[in-house]
Structure 1
């Protein structure tokens, strides 16, 4: 059995691998936070994702418990992060739905947006004749 020392090649290789893993996790965490901060949902998106009525969404907005903005078109846009944190911290109570279910639905909604965005980018690249495969 070989003893691994700080100076050994095996240790250095393991250290490099751990550094790459750490870097990947940091990049992934940063990207996920940036997506959460930038993602906005329409009223329809929120109502469908959380199975709530327009009046419930209106009450949340009027009470000031969720962040929103008006788009140039006049539509209301809700910040994903505000909804997620509000539900997680019990500031927002989704009627007839446990907190965990509401958080799961929001996360699935975000994942679907990311997946659809990636898939549509893939289709655009295919139409332009670009190689989109892993190699």
Structure 2
């Protein structure tokens, strides 16, 4: 193992630069966030905010009416796919619930980033 020593002033300058870069990257991620239709949400969020049952969501999956991805046993759906189902009246929900889903998902993601 190699040990490198530097002056505390140089270390603090380096730390400040790293923090500046990290803040810039975080700000860019928020500005250039994905189009809302490209956001992935899980079954829990869909059921909670659209006020539909898990069984309804399961029926949509079984009938091939909604595309989804399964990762580690959890199902994820694109917002655009959910919006398509609402507009075609397959899911009886409204755009206010859809906006709540998007807003709360973004808040949840932001909260998770801040805790890491």
Q: Which TM-score band (shorter chain)?
A: 0.5 to 0.7
Superposed CA offset, 1:46-83 (max 9, x none): 11112222211111111111110111x12111111101
Superposed CA offset, 1:10-39 (max 9, x none): xxxxxxxxxxxxxxxxxxxxx5762321x1
| TM-score, normalised with respect to structure 1 | 0.52
Structure having greater relative contact order (Cα 8 Å, sep ≥ 6): 2
Q: 1:62 to 1:120 in 2, by over 3 A?
A: closer
Q: CA RMSD in A?
A: 2.6
Which residue does the alignment assign to 1:14? none
| TM-score, normalised with respect to structure 2 | 0.59
Superposed, which structure 2 residues align to 1:16-31 within 5 Å?
none
Contact 2:41 2:105 in 1 (8 A): no
What is the distance in 1 between the residues matched to 2:76 and 2:43?
7
State the secondary structure of the residue aligned to 1:108: helix
How many pairs align? 86
Among 102, 107, 111, the alignment partner of 1:110 is 102
Structure 1: segments with no counterpart, 5+ residues: 1-30, 125-135
Structure 2: segments with no counterpart, 5+ residues: 1-31
What is the distance in 1 between the residues matched to 2:99 and 2:57?
18
2:85 is the counterpart of 1:86: yes
